[in-house]
Amino acid sequence: MADKNYDVIIIGAGVVGSMVARFLSRYKLDVLLIEKDSDIGMGASSANTAIIHAGYDPKPGTLKAEMNVVGNQMFDQLAGELNFTFERRGDYVVAIGPEEFAKLESLRQQGLENGVPGMVILNGADVRRREPNINPEVSGALWATTGGICDPFGVVIAAAENAVVNGVTLMTDTAFQDFIMDGKHIVGIKTNRGDFSSRWVVNSAGLYSDVVMHKAGLRPEFKITPRKGEYYVFDKAEITINNVLFPVPSATSKGILVTTTVHGNTIIGPNALEIDDKEDRSITREGLDEIWQGAINLVPSLSLRYSIAEFAGLRPGGNAPCENPDVKYNKDFIIEIPKQVEGLVNLGGIESPGLSSSPAIAVRVVELLKGAGEKLEEKSEWNPIRRARPRFRDMLPTEQKLLIENDPSYGRIICRCENVTEGEIVAEIHAPIPARTYDAIKRRTWLGTGRCQGGFDTPRVVEILARELGVSPLEISKKGKGSEFLVRPTKDEEAE
Protein backbone atom coordinates (compact mmCIF):
# COMPACT_ATOMS: atom_id res chain seq x y z
CA MET A 1 0.00 0.00 0.00
CA ALA A 2 1.27 3.51 -0.80
CA ASP A 3 2.66 5.42 2.21
CA LYS A 4 0.03 8.12 2.25
CA ASN A 5 -3.33 7.48 3.92
CA TYR A 6 -6.12 9.44 2.32
CA ASP A 7 -9.32 10.47 4.02
CA VAL A 8 -11.31 10.27 0.79
CA ILE A 9 -10.57 8.76 -2.61
CA ILE A 10 -12.90 9.80 -5.43
CA ILE A 11 -13.11 7.39 -8.36
CA GLY A 12 -13.77 9.23 -11.62
CA ALA A 13 -13.04 12.85 -12.55
CA GLY A 14 -16.08 13.63 -14.64
CA VAL A 15 -18.32 16.53 -13.71
CA VAL A 16 -19.68 14.74 -10.62
CA GLY A 17 -16.32 13.54 -9.27
CA SER A 18 -14.70 16.91 -9.95
CA MET A 19 -17.54 18.77 -8.26
CA VAL A 20 -17.36 16.43 -5.23
CA ALA A 21 -13.59 17.07 -5.06
CA ARG A 22 -14.16 20.83 -5.20
CA PHE A 23 -16.75 20.83 -2.42
CA LEU A 24 -14.65 18.47 -0.23
CA SER A 25 -11.55 20.63 -0.75
CA ARG A 26 -13.12 23.11 1.67
CA TYR A 27 -12.44 20.76 4.60
CA LYS A 28 -9.32 19.50 6.36
CA LEU A 29 -9.24 16.23 4.45
CA ASP A 30 -6.61 14.47 2.35
CA VAL A 31 -8.46 13.83 -0.87
CA LEU A 32 -7.28 11.84 -3.91
CA LEU A 33 -9.20 12.12 -7.19
CA ILE A 34 -8.39 9.37 -9.68
CA GLU A 35 -9.25 9.24 -13.36
CA LYS A 36 -8.68 6.25 -15.66
CA ASP A 37 -8.32 8.43 -18.77
CA SER A 38 -5.47 10.76 -19.73
CA ASP A 39 -7.51 13.85 -18.80
CA ILE A 40 -10.50 14.76 -16.68
CA GLY A 41 -14.02 14.88 -18.15
CA MET A 42 -13.45 12.40 -20.97
CA GLY A 43 -16.33 10.02 -20.19
CA ALA A 44 -20.02 10.87 -20.00
CA SER A 45 -19.13 14.52 -19.32
CA SER A 46 -17.32 14.85 -22.64
CA ALA A 47 -20.36 15.01 -24.94
CA ASN A 48 -23.70 16.45 -23.97
CA THR A 49 -26.08 19.28 -24.79
CA ALA A 50 -24.36 21.70 -22.35
CA ILE A 51 -27.77 22.57 -20.94
CA ILE A 52 -28.40 23.40 -17.30
CA HIS A 53 -31.93 22.08 -17.11
CA ALA A 54 -34.65 24.00 -15.28
CA GLY A 55 -35.98 20.80 -13.67
CA TYR A 56 -39.52 20.29 -15.03
CA ASP A 57 -38.63 16.96 -16.70
CA PRO A 58 -37.81 14.52 -13.87
CA LYS A 59 -40.66 12.78 -12.03
CA PRO A 60 -41.58 14.59 -8.79
CA GLY A 61 -40.25 12.84 -5.70
CA THR A 62 -37.13 11.50 -7.40
CA LEU A 63 -33.55 12.39 -6.57
CA LYS A 64 -33.24 13.49 -10.19
CA ALA A 65 -35.91 16.15 -9.65
CA GLU A 66 -34.50 17.34 -6.34
CA MET A 67 -30.85 17.46 -7.45
CA ASN A 68 -31.75 19.12 -10.77
CA VAL A 69 -33.68 21.99 -9.22
CA VAL A 70 -31.18 22.59 -6.40
CA GLY A 71 -28.20 22.22 -8.76
CA ASN A 72 -29.68 24.62 -11.30
CA GLN A 73 -29.98 27.34 -8.65
CA MET A 74 -26.33 26.91 -7.66
CA PHE A 75 -24.95 27.69 -11.10
CA ASP A 76 -24.91 31.51 -10.92
CA GLN A 77 -22.73 31.56 -7.81
CA LEU A 78 -20.57 28.67 -9.05
CA ALA A 79 -19.96 30.31 -12.43
CA GLY A 80 -18.94 33.47 -10.61
CA GLU A 81 -16.58 31.65 -8.25
CA LEU A 82 -15.09 29.21 -10.75
CA ASN A 83 -15.11 31.47 -13.79
CA PHE A 84 -16.72 29.20 -16.35
CA THR A 85 -19.20 30.39 -18.97
CA PHE A 86 -22.84 30.07 -17.97
CA GLU A 87 -25.78 31.91 -19.51
CA ARG A 88 -29.23 31.70 -17.99
CA ARG A 89 -31.09 32.26 -21.25
CA GLY A 90 -34.16 30.21 -20.42
CA ASP A 91 -35.35 27.27 -22.51
CA TYR A 92 -38.45 26.44 -24.55
CA VAL A 93 -40.41 23.21 -24.86
CA VAL A 94 -41.99 23.72 -28.25
CA ALA A 95 -45.40 22.27 -29.10
CA ILE A 96 -46.21 21.65 -32.75
CA GLY A 97 -49.96 21.35 -33.35
CA PRO A 98 -52.87 21.36 -30.87
CA GLU A 99 -52.25 17.91 -29.33
CA GLU A 100 -48.77 18.80 -28.20
CA PHE A 101 -49.95 22.15 -26.83
CA ALA A 102 -52.25 20.30 -24.41
CA LYS A 103 -49.19 18.53 -22.91
CA LEU A 104 -47.40 21.74 -21.95
CA GLU A 105 -49.63 22.42 -18.96
CA SER A 106 -48.94 19.01 -17.37
CA LEU A 107 -45.22 19.60 -17.87
CA ARG A 108 -45.58 22.98 -16.16
CA GLN A 109 -47.49 21.35 -13.28
CA GLN A 110 -44.72 18.77 -12.94
CA GLY A 111 -42.19 21.60 -12.84
CA LEU A 112 -44.21 23.37 -10.13
CA GLU A 113 -44.26 20.16 -8.06
CA ASN A 114 -40.48 19.95 -8.44
CA GLY A 115 -40.15 23.56 -7.25
CA VAL A 116 -39.14 25.11 -10.59
CA PRO A 117 -39.73 28.88 -10.54
CA GLY A 118 -40.42 31.12 -13.53
CA MET A 119 -42.30 28.93 -16.02
CA VAL A 120 -44.68 30.54 -18.51
CA ILE A 121 -46.82 29.05 -21.28
CA LEU A 122 -46.56 31.08 -24.48
CA ASN A 123 -48.86 30.95 -27.49
CA GLY A 124 -47.67 30.22 -31.02
CA ALA A 125 -47.43 33.89 -32.06
CA ASP A 126 -45.21 34.65 -29.05
CA VAL A 127 -42.87 31.81 -29.92
CA ARG A 128 -42.68 32.80 -33.60
CA ARG A 129 -41.78 36.34 -32.56
CA ARG A 130 -39.06 35.20 -30.17
CA GLU A 131 -37.55 32.57 -32.49
CA PRO A 132 -38.29 33.54 -36.13
CA ASN A 133 -36.78 30.27 -37.44
CA ILE A 134 -39.27 28.09 -35.57
CA ASN A 135 -41.65 25.74 -37.41
CA PRO A 136 -44.62 27.98 -38.37
CA GLU A 137 -46.95 25.21 -37.17
CA VAL A 138 -45.86 25.97 -33.60
CA SER A 139 -48.87 26.10 -31.27
CA GLY A 140 -47.05 27.32 -28.16
CA ALA A 141 -44.21 26.64 -25.78
CA LEU A 142 -43.37 26.20 -22.14
CA TRP A 143 -40.78 28.86 -21.43
CA ALA A 144 -38.63 28.03 -18.41
CA THR A 145 -36.70 31.12 -17.45
CA THR A 146 -34.20 29.26 -15.24
CA GLY A 147 -32.87 27.01 -18.01
CA GLY A 148 -29.32 27.81 -19.04
CA ILE A 149 -26.36 26.82 -21.18
CA CYS A 150 -22.73 26.48 -20.10
CA ASP A 151 -19.33 25.45 -21.32
CA PRO A 152 -19.54 21.86 -20.00
CA PHE A 153 -15.78 21.21 -20.27
CA GLY A 154 -15.17 24.52 -18.53
CA VAL A 155 -17.34 23.38 -15.62
CA VAL A 156 -15.37 20.13 -15.11
CA ILE A 157 -11.99 21.78 -15.54
CA ALA A 158 -12.76 24.72 -13.28
CA ALA A 159 -14.18 22.53 -10.50
CA ALA A 160 -11.24 20.08 -10.59
CA GLU A 161 -8.70 22.89 -10.84
CA ASN A 162 -10.18 24.70 -7.84
CA ALA A 163 -10.04 21.39 -5.93
CA VAL A 164 -6.38 20.86 -6.86
CA VAL A 165 -5.40 24.42 -5.93
CA ASN A 166 -7.09 23.81 -2.57
CA GLY A 167 -5.00 20.68 -1.93
CA VAL A 168 -6.75 17.76 -3.65
CA THR A 169 -4.36 15.34 -5.39
CA LEU A 170 -5.38 14.40 -8.94
CA MET A 171 -4.00 11.30 -10.66
CA THR A 172 -4.94 10.72 -14.30
CA ASP A 173 -4.26 7.45 -16.18
CA THR A 174 -5.13 5.75 -12.89
CA ALA A 175 -7.78 3.04 -13.14
CA PHE A 176 -9.67 1.56 -10.20
CA GLN A 177 -9.32 -2.24 -10.06
CA ASP A 178 -10.77 -3.39 -6.75
CA PHE A 179 -11.52 -2.47 -3.17
CA ILE A 180 -9.25 -3.45 -0.28
CA MET A 181 -11.53 -4.64 2.52
CA ASP A 182 -11.11 -5.34 6.20
CA GLY A 183 -14.25 -7.32 6.94
CA LYS A 184 -17.09 -5.06 5.80
CA HIS A 185 -14.87 -1.93 5.97
CA ILE A 186 -13.38 -0.49 2.81
CA VAL A 187 -9.82 0.48 3.73
CA GLY A 188 -8.45 1.34 0.30
CA ILE A 189 -8.41 0.60 -3.39
CA LYS A 190 -6.20 -1.21 -5.88
CA THR A 191 -5.36 0.61 -9.11
CA ASN A 192 -3.11 0.04 -12.12
CA ARG A 193 -0.68 2.44 -10.38
CA GLY A 194 -0.59 0.76 -7.01
CA ASP A 195 -2.72 0.50 -3.90
CA PHE A 196 -3.98 3.49 -1.92
CA SER A 197 -5.50 3.43 1.53
CA SER A 198 -8.43 5.62 2.48
CA ARG A 199 -11.15 5.90 5.10
CA TRP A 200 -13.77 6.78 2.48
CA VAL A 201 -14.19 6.04 -1.22
CA VAL A 202 -16.65 7.92 -3.44
CA ASN A 203 -17.89 6.00 -6.46
CA SER A 204 -18.39 8.60 -9.19
CA ALA A 205 -17.30 6.31 -12.02
CA GLY A 206 -20.14 7.30 -14.37
CA LEU A 207 -20.53 4.69 -17.07
CA TYR A 208 -18.58 2.25 -14.87
CA SER A 209 -20.34 3.04 -11.58
CA ASP A 210 -22.09 -0.37 -11.73
CA VAL A 211 -18.74 -2.19 -12.06
CA VAL A 212 -17.34 -0.28 -9.07
CA MET A 213 -20.31 -0.95 -6.78
CA HIS A 214 -20.39 -4.64 -7.76
CA LYS A 215 -16.74 -4.93 -6.64
CA ALA A 216 -17.96 -3.89 -3.19
CA GLY A 217 -20.68 -6.55 -3.38
CA LEU A 218 -23.39 -3.92 -3.68
CA ARG A 219 -26.58 -3.83 -5.77
CA PRO A 220 -25.79 -6.80 -8.04
CA GLU A 221 -28.99 -6.07 -9.98
CA PHE A 222 -27.89 -2.51 -10.82
CA LYS A 223 -26.77 -2.13 -14.41
CA ILE A 224 -25.62 0.85 -16.40
CA THR A 225 -27.00 0.71 -19.93
CA PRO A 226 -25.29 3.44 -21.94
CA ARG A 227 -27.73 5.56 -23.96
CA LYS A 228 -25.96 6.85 -26.99
CA GLY A 229 -26.83 10.29 -28.33
CA GLU A 230 -25.57 11.60 -31.67
CA TYR A 231 -25.23 15.26 -32.59
CA TYR A 232 -24.57 17.61 -35.51
CA VAL A 233 -22.67 20.87 -34.95
CA PHE A 234 -23.29 23.82 -37.30
CA ASP A 235 -20.94 26.56 -38.38
CA LYS A 236 -21.64 29.58 -36.24
CA ALA A 237 -21.36 32.05 -39.09
CA GLU A 238 -24.19 30.51 -41.07
CA ILE A 239 -27.10 29.93 -38.76
CA THR A 240 -28.65 31.91 -35.97
CA ILE A 241 -30.68 29.98 -33.43
CA ASN A 242 -30.59 31.98 -30.23
CA ASN A 243 -32.55 29.72 -27.95
CA VAL A 244 -32.68 26.26 -26.44
CA LEU A 245 -35.57 24.53 -28.21
CA PHE A 246 -36.81 21.21 -26.86
CA PRO A 247 -39.62 19.17 -28.39
CA VAL A 248 -42.40 17.92 -26.11
CA PRO A 249 -40.64 15.09 -24.20
CA SER A 250 -41.46 11.39 -24.50
CA ALA A 251 -41.67 8.98 -21.55
CA THR A 252 -38.00 8.06 -21.99
CA SER A 253 -36.23 11.14 -23.34
CA LYS A 254 -36.28 14.91 -23.44
CA GLY A 255 -36.07 14.38 -27.17
CA ILE A 256 -34.07 15.81 -30.06
CA LEU A 257 -33.48 19.49 -29.57
CA VAL A 258 -32.07 22.44 -31.42
CA THR A 259 -29.86 24.57 -29.25
CA THR A 260 -27.05 27.02 -29.27
CA THR A 261 -23.73 26.80 -27.46
CA VAL A 262 -22.02 29.48 -25.41
CA HIS A 263 -19.55 29.67 -28.32
CA GLY A 264 -22.35 30.47 -30.77
CA ASN A 265 -22.66 27.21 -32.69
CA THR A 266 -26.05 25.63 -33.24
CA ILE A 267 -26.13 21.97 -32.26
CA ILE A 268 -28.87 19.40 -32.81
CA GLY A 269 -29.42 16.05 -31.08
CA PRO A 270 -29.35 13.74 -29.21
CA ASN A 271 -31.17 10.56 -30.07
CA ALA A 272 -31.31 7.92 -27.32
CA LEU A 273 -30.10 4.48 -28.35
CA GLU A 274 -29.57 1.90 -25.60
CA ILE A 275 -26.36 -0.02 -26.29
CA ASP A 276 -24.10 -2.49 -24.43
CA ASP A 277 -20.66 -1.11 -25.23
CA LYS A 278 -19.54 1.56 -22.76
CA GLU A 279 -17.02 2.92 -25.25
CA ASP A 280 -19.10 2.94 -28.45
CA ARG A 281 -19.22 6.57 -29.54
CA SER A 282 -19.63 5.76 -33.22
CA ILE A 283 -21.79 7.88 -35.50
CA THR A 284 -24.32 6.05 -37.64
CA ARG A 285 -26.22 7.06 -40.76
CA GLU A 286 -29.51 6.03 -39.11
CA GLY A 287 -28.71 8.01 -35.97
CA LEU A 288 -27.84 11.15 -37.90
CA ASP A 289 -31.01 10.80 -40.00
CA GLU A 290 -33.05 10.43 -36.83
CA ILE A 291 -31.68 13.61 -35.25
CA TRP A 292 -32.03 15.49 -38.51
CA GLN A 293 -35.74 14.63 -38.75
CA GLY A 294 -36.24 15.62 -35.10
CA ALA A 295 -34.45 18.93 -35.58
CA ILE A 296 -36.21 20.05 -38.76
CA ASN A 297 -39.53 19.39 -37.07
CA LEU A 298 -38.57 22.30 -34.79
CA VAL A 299 -36.58 24.44 -37.23
CA PRO A 300 -37.41 23.54 -40.86
CA SER A 301 -34.93 26.05 -42.32
CA LEU A 302 -31.84 24.28 -40.93
CA SER A 303 -29.50 23.26 -43.72
CA LEU A 304 -27.06 20.35 -43.54
CA ARG A 305 -24.75 22.37 -45.79
CA TYR A 306 -23.61 24.20 -42.68
CA SER A 307 -22.85 21.15 -40.56
CA ILE A 308 -19.17 21.13 -39.59
CA ALA A 309 -18.96 18.18 -37.20
CA GLU A 310 -20.79 15.19 -35.77
CA PHE A 311 -20.18 13.52 -32.45
CA ALA A 312 -21.75 11.02 -30.07
CA GLY A 313 -21.90 10.85 -26.29
CA LEU A 314 -23.05 8.23 -23.81
CA ARG A 315 -25.37 8.88 -20.87
CA PRO A 316 -24.82 6.46 -17.99
CA GLY A 317 -28.42 5.37 -17.59
CA GLY A 318 -29.07 3.03 -14.66
CA ASN A 319 -32.01 0.87 -13.62
CA ALA A 320 -32.32 1.92 -9.96
CA PRO A 321 -35.92 2.46 -8.90
CA CYS A 322 -36.77 5.59 -6.95
CA GLU A 323 -36.34 5.05 -3.18
CA ASN A 324 -39.42 7.22 -2.55
CA PRO A 325 -42.34 4.76 -2.17
CA ASP A 326 -44.78 7.38 -3.48
CA VAL A 327 -43.12 7.48 -6.88
CA LYS A 328 -44.00 4.74 -9.33
CA TYR A 329 -40.97 2.97 -10.85
CA ASN A 330 -38.67 5.53 -12.36
CA LYS A 331 -35.01 5.15 -13.16
CA ASP A 332 -33.41 7.36 -10.56
CA PHE A 333 -29.98 8.53 -9.43
CA ILE A 334 -28.32 6.54 -6.62
CA ILE A 335 -26.79 8.81 -3.97
CA GLU A 336 -26.18 6.82 -0.79
CA ILE A 337 -23.95 5.55 1.96
CA PRO A 338 -24.97 1.90 1.82
CA LYS A 339 -25.32 -0.14 5.03
CA GLN A 340 -23.83 -3.37 3.64
CA VAL A 341 -20.27 -1.97 3.42
CA GLU A 342 -18.58 0.77 5.41
CA GLY A 343 -16.58 3.62 3.93
CA LEU A 344 -18.36 4.00 0.60
CA VAL A 345 -20.32 6.91 -0.83
CA ASN A 346 -22.09 5.32 -3.75
CA LEU A 347 -23.23 7.36 -6.76
CA GLY A 348 -24.80 5.64 -9.76
CA GLY A 349 -26.99 6.19 -12.79
CA ILE A 350 -26.06 9.88 -12.97
CA GLU A 351 -27.31 10.46 -16.49
CA SER A 352 -29.11 13.61 -17.66
CA PRO A 353 -29.68 15.92 -15.76
CA GLY A 354 -26.30 14.98 -14.25
CA LEU A 355 -24.43 18.10 -15.35
CA SER A 356 -27.17 20.35 -13.93
CA SER A 357 -27.33 18.29 -10.74
CA SER A 358 -23.59 17.95 -10.18
CA PRO A 359 -23.12 20.74 -7.58
CA ALA A 360 -26.19 19.59 -5.63
CA ILE A 361 -24.89 16.00 -5.67
CA ALA A 362 -21.54 17.26 -4.32
CA VAL A 363 -23.30 19.09 -1.48
CA ARG A 364 -25.34 15.93 -0.76
CA VAL A 365 -22.09 13.91 -0.55
CA VAL A 366 -20.76 16.39 2.03
CA GLU A 367 -24.04 16.08 4.00
CA LEU A 368 -23.89 12.27 3.86
CA LEU A 369 -20.33 12.30 5.23
CA LYS A 370 -21.37 14.65 8.02
CA GLY A 371 -24.34 12.40 8.77
CA ALA A 372 -21.94 9.45 9.00
CA GLY A 373 -20.03 11.24 11.77
CA GLU A 374 -17.24 12.99 9.84
CA LYS A 375 -16.30 16.24 11.61
CA LEU A 376 -15.40 18.09 8.39
CA GLU A 377 -13.53 21.03 9.85
CA GLU A 378 -13.24 23.96 7.41
CA LYS A 379 -9.80 25.09 6.21
CA SER A 380 -9.19 28.76 6.98
CA GLU A 381 -7.20 29.10 3.75
CA TRP A 382 -9.82 27.57 1.42
CA ASN A 383 -10.21 29.70 -1.69
CA PRO A 384 -13.49 29.27 -3.57
CA ILE A 385 -12.27 31.40 -6.48
CA ARG A 386 -10.67 29.88 -9.54
CA ARG A 387 -9.10 32.55 -11.67
CA ALA A 388 -9.81 32.38 -15.40
CA ARG A 389 -6.89 32.55 -17.83
CA PRO A 390 -6.98 35.13 -20.65
CA ARG A 391 -9.17 34.27 -23.64
CA PHE A 392 -7.83 36.40 -26.49
CA ARG A 393 -10.98 36.28 -28.65
CA ASP A 394 -13.15 37.65 -25.86
CA MET A 395 -10.93 40.67 -25.16
CA LEU A 396 -11.18 44.26 -26.33
CA PRO A 397 -8.46 45.34 -28.81
CA THR A 398 -6.87 47.49 -26.10
CA GLU A 399 -6.72 44.50 -23.74
CA GLN A 400 -5.31 42.29 -26.50
CA LYS A 401 -2.60 44.86 -27.17
CA LEU A 402 -1.59 44.96 -23.51
CA LEU A 403 -1.52 41.17 -23.31
CA ILE A 404 0.72 40.91 -26.37
CA GLU A 405 3.07 43.62 -25.06
CA ASN A 406 3.42 41.62 -21.88
CA ASP A 407 3.82 38.25 -23.64
CA PRO A 408 4.28 38.22 -27.45
CA SER A 409 3.11 34.58 -27.67
CA TYR A 410 -0.43 35.95 -27.29
CA GLY A 411 0.12 37.68 -30.62
CA ARG A 412 0.59 34.40 -32.49
CA ILE A 413 -2.77 32.97 -33.61
CA ILE A 414 -2.64 29.17 -33.84
CA CYS A 415 -6.33 28.44 -34.46
CA ARG A 416 -7.73 30.93 -36.94
CA CYS A 417 -11.34 29.76 -36.87
CA GLU A 418 -11.61 30.29 -33.12
CA ASN A 419 -8.84 32.89 -32.67
CA VAL A 420 -6.79 30.90 -30.15
CA THR A 421 -3.24 32.07 -29.51
CA GLU A 422 -0.01 30.30 -28.65
CA GLY A 423 0.02 32.07 -25.28
CA GLU A 424 -3.31 30.47 -24.35
CA ILE A 425 -2.08 27.00 -25.33
CA VAL A 426 1.13 27.39 -23.33
CA ALA A 427 -0.86 28.63 -20.32
CA GLU A 428 -3.04 25.49 -20.41
CA ILE A 429 0.00 23.21 -20.65
CA HIS A 430 1.37 24.78 -17.45
CA ALA A 431 -1.95 25.17 -15.63
CA PRO A 432 -2.65 23.51 -12.24
CA ILE A 433 -4.12 20.59 -14.22
CA PRO A 434 -1.75 20.47 -17.18
CA ALA A 435 -3.21 19.89 -20.65
CA ARG A 436 -0.99 17.19 -22.19
CA THR A 437 -2.90 16.12 -25.31
CA TYR A 438 -4.46 17.85 -28.30
CA ASP A 439 -7.99 17.18 -27.06
CA ALA A 440 -7.11 18.50 -23.60
CA ILE A 441 -6.07 21.80 -25.21
CA LYS A 442 -9.21 21.74 -27.36
CA ARG A 443 -11.55 21.22 -24.40
CA ARG A 444 -9.91 24.12 -22.54
CA THR A 445 -9.50 26.69 -25.33
CA TRP A 446 -12.12 25.63 -27.91
CA LEU A 447 -9.32 25.47 -30.51
CA GLY A 448 -10.00 23.14 -33.44
CA THR A 449 -13.78 23.37 -33.12
CA GLY A 450 -14.41 25.71 -36.04
CA ARG A 451 -14.94 25.23 -39.74
CA CYS A 452 -11.55 23.59 -40.41
CA GLN A 453 -11.93 21.22 -37.43
CA GLY A 454 -8.27 21.40 -36.52
CA GLY A 455 -6.97 21.03 -40.08
CA PHE A 456 -4.63 24.00 -39.75
CA ASP A 457 -3.80 24.10 -36.05
CA THR A 458 -3.04 20.45 -35.28
CA PRO A 459 0.62 20.36 -36.50
CA ARG A 460 1.34 23.60 -34.63
CA VAL A 461 -0.24 22.31 -31.42
CA VAL A 462 1.82 19.10 -31.65
CA GLU A 463 5.00 21.22 -31.92
CA ILE A 464 4.01 23.43 -28.99
CA LEU A 465 3.06 20.49 -26.76
CA ALA A 466 6.34 18.70 -27.54
CA ARG A 467 8.38 21.84 -26.87
CA GLU A 468 6.64 22.75 -23.62
CA LEU A 469 6.53 19.20 -22.24
CA GLY A 470 10.14 18.54 -23.33
CA VAL A 471 9.24 15.34 -25.22
CA SER A 472 9.49 14.12 -28.81
CA PRO A 473 6.59 15.09 -31.12
CA LEU A 474 6.19 11.33 -31.63
CA GLU A 475 4.85 11.15 -28.07
CA ILE A 476 2.14 13.76 -28.57
CA SER A 477 -1.31 12.23 -28.86
CA LYS A 478 -4.88 13.25 -29.55
CA LYS A 479 -6.29 11.83 -26.32
CA GLY A 480 -3.69 9.65 -24.62
CA LYS A 481 -1.70 6.47 -25.31
CA GLY A 482 -2.58 4.82 -28.61
CA SER A 483 -3.76 8.01 -30.32
CA GLU A 484 -0.33 9.51 -31.20
CA PHE A 485 -0.39 11.69 -34.34
CA LEU A 486 2.99 10.75 -35.77
CA VAL A 487 4.32 7.27 -36.44
CA ARG A 488 7.99 7.95 -37.26
CA PRO A 489 10.39 10.84 -37.96
CA THR A 490 10.51 12.24 -41.49
CA LYS A 491 13.51 11.29 -43.66
CA ASP A 492 15.10 14.71 -43.04
CA GLU A 493 14.85 14.34 -39.28
CA GLU A 494 16.24 10.80 -39.38
CA ALA A 495 19.23 12.08 -41.36
CA GLU A 496 20.03 14.76 -38.73
By CB under 6 A, name the binding residues for ligand G3P.
Answer: 48-49, 51, 253-254, 257, 270, 272, 315, 351-352
Q: How far apart are CA 51 and CA 86, in angstroms?
A: 9
The answer to whether 152 touches 48, Cβ cutoff 8 Å, is yes
Q: Toward ligand G3P, which CB reaches closer, 272 or 361? A: 272
d(CA 298, CA 455): 32
In the complex with ligand G3P, which residue's Cβ is closer, 100 or 351?
351
Pairing of strands 5-11, 194-203: parallel
Q: How many CB atoms lie within 10 A of CB 396?
A: 8
Q: How far apart are CA 167 and CA 411, in angstroms?
A: 34
Q: How far is the CB of 50 from ligand G3P (least distance, A)?
A: 8
Cα–Cα–Cα angle for 136, 49, 350, rounded to 5 degrees: 130
**Measured from the CB of residue 167, what is the shortest distance to ligand G3P in angstroms?**
32
Amino acid at 257: L
Q: How far apart are CA 322 and CA 456, in angstroms?
A: 49
Residues in CB range of 375: below 8 A, 6 or more apart: none
CA 159 to chain centre: 11
Least distance (Å) from ligand G3P to the CB of residue 270? 6
Q: Is 430 a catalytic residue?
A: no
Using CA atoms, how far apart are residues 269 and 312, in angstroms rounded to an integer? Answer: 9
Question: From the CB of 48, what's the least distance to ligand G3P, in Å?
Answer: 6
Q: How far is the CB of 272 from ligand G3P (least distance, A)?
A: 5
Name which of 48 and 477 has its Cβ closer to ligand G3P. 48
State the first-to-last Cα distance of the chain, in angstroms, to the nearest integer: 46
Task: List phi, psi (to 5°) of 440.
Answer: -65, -40
Q: Which is nearer to ligand G3P, 75 or 176 (CB)?
A: 75
Do residues 291 and 321 lie in contact, with contact meaning Cβ atoms separated by under 8 Å?
A: no
- State in angstroms the smallest separation of the CB of 344 from ligand G3P: 26
Q: Smaller CB distance to ligand G3P: residue 250 or 380?
A: 250
Per DSSP, helices labelled H in 239-331 are: 285-298
CA atoms within 13 A on the CB side of 20: 32
- Closer to ligand G3P by CB, 147 or 188: give it: 147
Residues recognised as catalytic: 53
